[in-house]
Amino acid sequence: MAGAARASAQARTPKQLAGDGAEQAAAEHLLAAGCVIVARNARYRDGEIDLVVRERDTVAFVEVRMRSSARFGGAISSIGASKQLRIARAAQRWLFANYGERWPACRFDVVTVDGDGTIDWMRDAFQCK
């Protein structure tokens, strides 16, 4: 019974599988653009960072969003102030854990993956205060 419970807890929903595919497509896009993937799915109690990449001397915290259509404003419109704050708090934890008190230049990027597979990378997509 414990094995069955463990297997069902690890089963991914179709929406989660689609999100996994979007994150993989985003990672491949960033790699092709010359970025180095530093971390994936960095989870903290404050929030989660989908991808952490290094582009030259800058660390970018990347939120990956997938939308099947732009009917409700597209993927970028789904990242409100509270989501941005959760990403920023998780980024601070990641920076402290990996760099201590001396942080490199960093920014927050968004990579959107549309239902047709179109990928759009927005560097410095939002500022956190």
* pLDDT (tens digit per residue) in 22-54: 899 999 999 999 999 999 999 999 899 999 999
Question: Collapsing DSSP states into helix, strand and coil, what is residue 113?
Answer: strand
- Enter the tokens of residue 85: 């704050």
Closest listed residue to residue 33, CA positions, set 126, 125, 119: 119
Taking residues 5-25, what's their average pLDDT? 75
* pLDDT (tens digit per residue) in 93-125: 999 999 999 999 999 999 998 878 889 999 998
pTM of the model: 0.84
Q: Which domains, ranges and CATH numbers included, belong to the chain?
A: 14-122 (3.40.1350.10)
Pick 2 or 32 by higher pLDDT: 32
Closest listed residue to residue 86, CA positions, set 44, 41, 52, 122: 44
Specify the pairing of strand 36-44 against strand 119-122.
unpaired
